[in-house]
Amino acid sequence: MKSGPPQGTFVQTTLADSVGFDGIALHSGAGVRLVVRPAPADHGIVFLRTDLDAALDRRIPVRPEALIEASLCTRIGNSAGVTVSTIEHLMAALAGCGIHNALVELDGPEVPILDGSSRPFVAGFMQVGLAVQDAALRAIRVRRTVEVRAGEAWARLEPAPHLTIAFEIDFPDGAIGHQHLELALCNGTFVRELSDCRTFCRQADVDFMRANGLALGGTYDNALVVQGDAILSPGGLRRDGEPVRHKMLDALGDLAVAGAPILGRYVGHRAGHTLTGRLVRALLADPAAWEWVTVEGAQAHAMPGAGVSVEDLRALA
């Protein structure tokens, strides 16, 4: 007879039901349908390309070895050459809501951008609810500092009792400028403080990307676009420091590619998807830098998804 995890242990979760999202891909501009389905314990997050021939290996488990370096998004792939791009906002929503097991089906090579944030995904997850599973949750605990650099940009993971994200950005545009923020990603912090913050870019970057066949699905409604001191997107900022908050959202999604929650302090300075992906790989490549732990006791209450409720989402309205 299965005894289940010890009392006081933080257990794995999945969705109580499937939830679908329709939208356009940010870079190709193509329409895409995505459905997130419940999955059994220890399944992890797995993507499935439903538009491809069933004879092909269409599944891509989210793990560090699946990462394919891409400067403008987070991309994963498998040995059959099947890829999925722009997974970071969805991965942040799954991690921030404490969803550990799910099958993500989509009929194209890119996750829909929706409104440029994680909020629509969070709203969908909260609508169907979560289901607890009879399996303990294991996390990756950082034991010693690991750092990666590229020019003036760097990213670091340091030992800490729970996940904390600190980020610093510096842009010449007055609408962004220098921004710094640090948050402990405990309980509903992600949902309340970060989930509605949109991807951002400068108008000059938009012009360059479109001239090179990228960002064809980008609009002023699914990105925060700035030009000098001006914010071109309707309605302006959703909250103070929206750009740096979105970078923190991205970082959470990129850290989730580790395949398990990380207990440690992430610090990013001008870092992006590529650098955070390299950091995850560098951490896991050093056996002395991390260890597996079972999440239990006080630590369980400090996990990103612990205690998340629809009230956290309503606080954004």
User: Is residue 3 over pLDDT 60?
Assistant: no
User: Is residue 4 over pLDDT 80?
Assistant: no
Within-domain flag for 4: no
Within-domain flag for 1: no
Within-domain flag for 2: no
- On whether the CB atoms of residues 116 and 223 are closer than 8 A, the answer is yes
Q: How far apart are CA 140 and CA 215, in angstroms?
A: 34
Is position 273 annotated as part of the catalytic site? Answer: yes
- For 102-135, the pLDDT digits (tens) are 999 999 999 999 999 999 999 999 999 999 999 9
Q: Which of 112, 115, 105, 48 is nearest to 82 (CA)?
A: 48
Q: What is the CATH number of the domain that holds 221?
A: 3.30.1700.10
Q: Domain range holding 143?
A: 11-314
The per-residue pLDDT for 317 is: 60
User: Is residue 203 over pLDDT 70?
Assistant: yes
Helix (H) / strand (E) element for 282: namely helix 273-285
172 Cβ contact list (under 8 Å, min separation 6): none
- For 98-109, the pLDDT digits (tens) are 999 999 999 999
The per-residue pLDDT for 311 is: 77
User: Is residue 33 over pLDDT 50?
Assistant: yes
Within-domain flag for 112: yes
The per-residue pLDDT for 5 is: 57
User: Is residue 17 over pLDDT 90?
Assistant: yes
Within-domain flag for 148: yes
Q: What is residue 6's DSSP assignment?
A: P
Q: How far apart are CA 144 and CA 288, in angstroms?
A: 8
Within-domain flag for 284: yes
Other CB atoms within 10 Å distance of the CB of residue 199: 25
User: Is residue 44 over pLDDT 50?
Assistant: yes
314 Cβ contact list (under 8 Å, min separation 6): none
Tell me the pTM: 0.94
**Torsional sign, CA 18, 19, 22, 26:** negative
Least confident of 35-39, 172-176, 219-223: 219-223
Helix (H) / strand (E) element for 174: namely none
Within-domain flag for 279: yes
Catalytic option among 43, 178, 273, 301: 273
Count of domains observed in the chain: 1
Q: How far apart are CA 142 and CA 290, in angstroms?
A: 5
- For 143-153, the pLDDT digits (tens) are 999 999 999 99
Within-domain flag for 133: yes
Confidence of residue 237 (pLDDT cuts 50, 70, 90): very high
Cα–chain center distance at 74: 9
